[in-house]
Structure 1
Amino acid sequence: MEFKDIEKIVNYLEDRIITNFEKHFSYLVLDDFYGGGYKERIEDEFFYDEYFEEYEDTIINLLLEIEDKNESEFIEFKLRLIKLKRIIDNYLSKIPKDVEINSFKHNRNSQFLINQELDESKIIENLYNQLYINKLIDSNFDDFKSHFNKSWNTKIQWFGTELQIVNFVNLLIDKNILDKETQNFKHKLITSHFINKKGNSFTKKQLSSVYSNKKEMIPNDDITLSIIKFIIENK
């Protein structure tokens, strides 16, 4: 990984964990509130694990990747990263050990949020057609469409790879097809709305790890890139 790429990731992590922590953490709590959490008291400790999980994995993976780089600029990155890991661990230590977090929170579902400046119906139709034609999903249109509101009850089976689905959702966010704030709970979206080709659930840790370790292995002719190109050109 090149210096500028590492710098970009470290800056991003510091923004999420230090500089603008309150803002991004509040987006997660707000999403939970609208998903049914308004019936419960808001206690920050019960959101820490979900918020920090992805960032912690990224920090660990990056520290291991640059372990043998001992130039001064990389030492500086290591110090910044280990500081972030310490901050996360201090937050996680505040979670009550005698409380099962999954039982405290309802199993609430986040929905896919289309960029409000776009034609939502057209985007959903194009997404469905492209994913169905290219055999990445086999759901019917009505079931697929329901995942963009609160009415869905059946997960979509994804017939591509884990790397493809994470990269696909990332690109939908990066290219402003999905609302930018989806970035704050993108892995939760995938685990809530999709099962893999074997019919098993995805996990956030699994998705974060595969993307961190293999994102540069995505070929330029990958079908998901073609689908993104089509959506952009026909939005």
Structure 2
Amino acid sequence: MIGEAASVALGWLVGKVTDEAATRTAEGAIKRVLRKRADAAREIALQEIAAGREHVILDIPAQDEAVAILWRYLRAAEEGTARLNLRLMASILAGHNEAPFIHASEFLRWADLVTSLSEIEIVFLATLHRECLRQHEHSEAADEAARRCLIPRFFADEEAYTIAGLALVRTGLIVQISIVGMSGAGLLGGQFKTAPAMMQLGRIADLEGVLAREDGWRG
């Protein structure tokens, strides 16, 4: 069941509410939702900035670059982007002490990619990236380690993991390194490794920290 204010807001949206008082109620309900989302996004951003580079926004040379980055981040929050996605976006914004500052155009490109991901896809990517670093990019060993971390906690079985990996190839962040086979149990094989774009993302965002700071998502 939706609340009275939300119901009025929905009615206002589809043109069924014309009363001035009801319209004000609808507009107020929408503003409260947006304010709540903005407040949550601000808290997430401050946490990631605290974990990343100090004074990151103040250190961006051009003011219009900083405004463009913050505006894109807040727009994602207002649109209802999931917390884990916002946290990853905020980590990109904050950066690492050893990473160069990114320009607004680069942040906007990453933001579009991050908002296109599901939360479970972010967990997949971060886990595979971590294991690739641990295995010194020994692809098969890294994929096997990622599977052990993610199955069955996040993926029910090998087939679900493989389907997720195949879907993520679209992003250019991972590549497929073995052919998918079929058996009576479903899809088999389909090993994956991180692509150069994923390594770049790992340099500008604290992937492990993003999962650790958002409860329940660490692979």
Measured against the shorter chain, the TM-score band is under 0.3
The one of the two structures with greater contact order (alpha-carbon pairs below 8 A, sep at least 6) is 1
TM-score by length of 2: 0.27
TM-score by length of 1: 0.26
Whichever of the two has the greater Rg, that structure is 2
Would you tell me which structure has more strand in proportion to its own residues? Answer: 2
